[in-house]
């Protein structure tokens, strides 16, 4: 398990219900051959959420998909 200190947390985007939201990576680990991330993400100002998601739902900040 890799846990990031507050000043080390990478900026990321997390996919929630089909929408990419800005956030921070808090920790990463593997379980049963799958990678998971603990993330904090912001739905709107003043609304920060904490969640555990599969790695496929996380990408580096600013890495929008192009068609």
Most distant CA pair in the chain: distance in Å?
36
pLDDT of residue 6: 95
Each residue's pLDDT, cut to its tens digit, for the chain (67 residues) gives: 999 999 999 999 999 999 999 999 999 999 999 999 999 999 989 999 999 999 999 999 988 765 4
Long-range own/partner contacts, residues 60-64 (CB < 8 A, 24 or more apart): 60/10, 60/11, 60/12, 60/13, 61/10, 61/11, 61/12, 61/13, 61/22, 62/13, 63/13, 64/20
The one-character DSSP state at 6 is: G
CATH tag, 2-60? 2.30.30
pLDDT of residue 62: 87
What does pTM read for this prediction? 0.86
pLDDT of residue 67: 45
pLDDT of residue 65: 60
- Indicate if the alpha-carbon torsion angle 3, 9, 10, 14 is positive or negative: positive
């Amino acid at each position: 398990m890799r846990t990031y200190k507050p000043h080390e947390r990478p900026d990321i985007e997390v996919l929630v219900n089909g929408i990419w939201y800005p956030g921070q990576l808090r920790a990463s680990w593997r379980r049963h051959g799958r990678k998971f991330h603990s993330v904090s993400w912001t739905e709107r100002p003043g609304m920060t959420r904490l969640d555990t998601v599969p790695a496929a739902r996380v990408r580096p900040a600013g890495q929008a998909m192009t068609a």
